[in-house]
Amino acid sequence: MNVINSLINGLQLGGITMLISSILDNTISSKETTDLIKSDSDLYIQGLQSNYINLLIIGPLYYIIVYNFFLDHTKDGFYVIDYIQIVFINNILYYLAHFMMHKVSFLKFMHEFHHLFKKTIPSTGNAVSMSEFNFAYIIPFVIACLKVIPNNITLKMSVGTISLLNTFIHTPNFEYLIYYPLFVSPANHIKHHENRSGTYAAPLLNIDYLIKEFCIYFNYYKEITKLKINYFLKNE
């Protein structure tokens, strides 16, 4: 069991995520960060503390387990198909977890801390309770690994992609970027923080949009079918 190497890999992922969000907090989002400190310094400190705990303690501990028991170390290089599967599974499972934390009464406590941030900054992406980090951030990756059995580099790229996108959609300075509706935009997610709007997808595929489009198409298809049946009956 390679504990040291797996721990280093986990710390690398958490450390890079923290570094990027910290740089963004203090550069392009410096005004928003300053405003948060002025309005609620305790919340800002709690957000930073949760980042440290989640990214540098909980995440690396899970990575030790995943690295040693759920990865295929006989695979060499980067596997695109495995990468796509992991990212896709993560998006689906995060959507379900996020939806449940809003709708299932005994799970709502997990998500309350994250929604104290009405105005977000980049590091808000990982400013979540330990229970939410386990339930909505870690478990989807564990399940994806059990399904895909990736190698280390493919998993790291998958986790890194999701982590960067999570930071990105919490960055208010990117709110005005124009997105294709298939993807979750910073505007989508920041609006969710402001009014808890019914958008639960993050951080890549806009599953809310896909469900809405499917329902529109399904209803349209039903109406067309009904018209065809009525026409056939009338002209029989």
- pLDDT tens for residues 28-68? 999 999 999 999 999 999 999 999 999 999 999 999 999 99
CA distance 147 to 106: 28
**Predicted local confidence at residue 133, as pLDDT:** 98
93-139 pLDDT, tens digit per residue, is 999 999 999 999 999 999 999 999 999 999 999 999 999 999 999 99
Q: What share of the chain is helix, strand, coil (3-state, %, to 5)?
A: 75, 0, 25
Report residue 213's pLDDT band, with 50, 70 and 90 as the boundaries.
confident
Contact yes or no for 66/141 (Cβ under 8 A): yes
Q: Report the predicted TM-score, pTM, of the whole model to 2 decimal places.
A: 0.91
Q: Which secondary-structure segment (H or E) carries 111?
A: helix 108-112
pLDDT of 174 > 50? The answer is yes
pLDDT of 223 > 60? The answer is no
**Predicted local confidence at residue 231, as pLDDT:** 45
**Predicted local confidence at residue 215, as pLDDT:** 84
Q: Which residues contact 93 (CB under 8 A, 6 or more apart)?
A: 139, 140, 143, 144
**Predicted local confidence at residue 228, as pLDDT:** 44
**Predicted local confidence at residue 197, as pLDDT:** 82
Report residue 159's pLDDT band, with 50, 70 and 90 as the boundaries.
very high
**Predicted local confidence at residue 219, as pLDDT:** 73
Report residue 178's pLDDT band, with 50, 70 and 90 as the boundaries.
confident
Task: Count the neighbouring beta carbons within 10 Å of the beta carbon of residue 138.
Answer: 19
Report residue 224's pLDDT band, with 50, 70 and 90 as the boundaries.
low
Average pLDDT, the chain: 93
Structure tokens at 167: 């930071």
Query: Of all residues in the chain, what percent carry a pLDDT higher than 70?
Result: 92
Q: What type of residue sits at position 135?
A: F
Report residue 235's pLDDT band, with 50, 70 and 90 as the boundaries.
low
pLDDT of 233 > 70? The answer is no
